[in-house]
Every structure is written in structure tokens, then in C-alpha cells.
Amino acid sequence: MKSRVALLVLALCMIASLAFANGEKGAAGTTAGLKVGMVTDAGTIDDKSFNQGTWEGIVRAEADMGIQKNYLKPAGTTEADYLREITNLYDAGYKFIVTPGFKFETTIFQAQNRYKDAKFVLLDGSPHAGDYNTVMGANTVSIFFAEHESGFLAGVAAALQVKQGEFGFIGGMEIPPVQKFNWGFQQGVAYANKNYGTNITMKAENVIYQGSFDNVAAGQQLAANMFDRGVSVIFAAAGGVGVGAINEAKARATSGKAVWIVGVDVDQYNDGVYTAGKSIILTSAMKRIDVASYEMVKAELAGRFPGGQVLTFDAVNDGVGIPANNPNLSADTQAKVKEVFAKLKAGTVTVSPERGTLLK
């Protein structure tokens, strides 16, 4: 009798072990395995930017891989605020933690040492002690994006679609990712002028960094000033400041003016809708933040988490681009942009991440 019981227990253990290994789902619809947490930056989980993009990748990982997910929104945006929520996730068993944005750099520097049995994904930043000397923990991966390539493609697309006129750029804080969007965009416009016969200009007075990512009113005023100066397309890489620019463009489009915004980070088409079926978002310079968070979860489950490394998501690995669907771009424009994207991937067209010659 004892032998039968022992064999039954052994068989049940083997079945349970196989179910776990194969990611079998329980009654709650998730595996009892990886618990993925996220701490948001300033803003909400549906901010149409970094928070939302990061979370969408995690949500897709839940659907495809059966992980458990959770996010926490800090009370503030200090290192202490961020670290408190990382600790709360860790204490709840969420030991794979994704953080969006450079503001988490010093926080992850602290966390990677405090919680050595956890894994950290830092998007658009690298851990340091406040001195900008990167210290990569073996349990941390930093992911950056080739914003200059994304801006380049958006510049080509916008120039091809509009063909002639004055363009502008509104940035948030003058930090490298935002600068690279600007420089890439200008190179894209110049490329279209040279190779496709477009006639787009950008003046120094229409390239402005507002200095923040949350001043909606300032963004609206900057956009109004540019539109009044004859600018027809503004690339807004500015978070909430960009929302203000979108609001101004929507108001003008409602009154019949032909003005456009190029969105940033994610596909902002829906944010630009001002009447049924019409949006002022010409296209968007996307960083595939969702792909980054999704791929890191996938890597962890496959046992190949790239801890200690700094990765770049670019055209080669489809980490940047414009949306697959662009209702405001013609089929011909989209076909040409697709050709340019293929050249970027092949390396026959290159974009500089450094400051170029300002278009006159």
C-alpha cells in the first residue's frame, strides 16, 4: 500500500513539474512563474508615451507567455519615490522590474545592488550614482533607441507628403534622446529634398526646446507662434508640451487651417483626432518601447536575459520606425519611406546622431 502511495505522489510531482516547465495556466489564467512589475514615470499608464508603450509590451507578454503583471505609480518623481515602489513590487514577489526613462538611472543604480536576486530593465537610461559614470549590474540591462533614425524616417515621410513649405520642431528638455529626434528629423527632410525633389525649409527660430515635458500651455503657445509664422508641420518631441502643440493644431484644423503635427515615441494618431475620421497627426517617429519590454520578458523566460549589457534598438532590429498604418500618408509616400527604411536596415543609408547643419 505504501509503495502505491509513494508511486502516486511521485507521479503527481512529475506531472506538476512538467506543467510548470511548459507554462501551463491555472484557474487565474496565468502561470505561477515570472512576475513582471513596472514602476511608471510622471504621468499615467495611458499617457500615449513611455509609460503606455512599456506597459503594452508587458500586457502582450502576459497574453503570449502567461506571466503575471503589475504596475505601481509613485507619489512623486524623486529617487526615493521610485525606489519605494520598486521595493513594494519586490516584496510582493515581482522580481523582474521594468522602468521607463532616464529619471530612473540613479534609482536602478541603488536597486540593482540592494536586490541582487531581481532583474531590472531600464529603458532610455543607464544606472549611475549621480555622476553619469555607468555602472551596469549583472542583473540589469539598459536599452537605448536610435531616435535619430526614427526622426529621419518621419522627416522623409512628412516632406514627401507635404512636398513644400516650412517645418518646425518643438522639443521638451534638451537631452540627448530629444536632440537626436530633432537632428534625425532635419536629416530626413534634407534627404527628401535632395533625393525626391521636395522643397522643405526649417529656420532656427522654428527649432525650440521648451525645457520641460509637462507644460501643456507652453506647448500650445509655441505651436501657435510657429503656425502664425507660416509653419505647416511641427515635429513635437516633448511629452505634455507636445500635447499642447497637438491641441493647437486640432483647434486650427477645426477652423479649416492645413496644419500638421508629427507625433513621437508611439503612434499618436488617435490623440490628433479633431472630427470623425480626421487627425492632425501626419505620422509619428516611434521608438518601439513595447517591443523592448516584451523582448526582455521573452529573453528572461528563455534563460538568456542580457544582464550587464547596454542594448540599442534601431532600424536593424525593428526597434524604431513610423506606424504601420498612416492614414494621412499617401500610398506613394509610404512606399518610398519603406524603401528608405530598407536602406537604413542594410546600412546603405546612414543617419548621424550628432548635430547636423541646420536647414535654412
User: pLDDT tens digit string along 150-188?
Assistant: 999 999 999 999 999 999 999 999 988 999 999 999 999
Report yes or no: 276 and 266 within 8 Å, Cβ to Cβ: no
Predicted local confidence at residue 214, as pLDDT: 86
Name the average pLDDT for the chain: 90
166 dihedral zone (left: phi>0; alpha: psi -120 to 50; beta): beta
Residues 121 and 259 in one domain: no
Q: How far apart are CA 153 and CA 304, in angstroms?
A: 32
130-155 per-position pLDDT tens digit: 999 999 999 999 999 999 999 999 99
C-alpha span between 51 and 208 (Å, rounded): 25
Cα 26 to Cα 15: distance, rounded to the nearest angstrom: 14
Same domain, 40 and 168: no
Question: Could you tell me the three cell numbers for 253?
Answer: 484644423
Residue-level pLDDT at 359? 60
Residue 315 pLDDT class (50, 70, 90 cuts): very high
Phi, psi dihedrals of residue 292, rounded to the nearest 5°: -65, -50
Task: Assess if residue 217 is contained within a domain.
Answer: yes
Residues 41, 152 within the same domain: no
183 and 268 in a single domain? The answer is yes
pLDDT, residue 44, reads: 86
User: Which domain covers residue 170, as residue numbers?
Assistant: 147-286+330-346
The band of 49, judged by pLDDT with boundaries at 50, 70 and 90, is confident
Please tell me the distance from the alpha carbon of residue 147 to that of residue 182, in angstroms, as a whole number. Answer: 9
Q: What letter does residue 355 receive in the DSSP assignment?
A: -
Kindly report the CATH number assigned to the domain that includes residue 53.
3.40.50.2300
Counting residues of the chain whose pLDDT is more than 90, the rounded percentage is 82
Of 12-26, 200-214, 223-237, 299-313, the poorest mean pLDDT is in 12-26
Compute the Cα dihedral for 112, 115, 120, 124 and give only its sign: negative
Does the pTM surpass 0.85? The reply is: no
pLDDT at 21 over 70: no
pLDDT beyond 70 at 9: no
Number of domains the chain is built from = 2
Q: Clarify whether residues 243 and 339 are in a common domain.
A: yes
Q: How many other C-beta atoms are found inside a 10 Å radius of the C-beta of residue 9?
A: 10
Question: Once rounded to an integer, what is the mean pLDDT over residues 242-271?
Answer: 96
Paired sense of beta strands 273-275 and 278-279, if any: antiparallel
Which residue do the cell numbers 493647437 mark? 248
For residues 282 and 294, membership in a common domain is answered with: no
Cell of 148: 535619430
Does residue 10 carry a pLDDT above 50? no
Taking the C-alpha atoms of residue 157 and residue 282, their distance in angstroms, rounded to an integer, is 9
The pLDDT of residue 358: 57
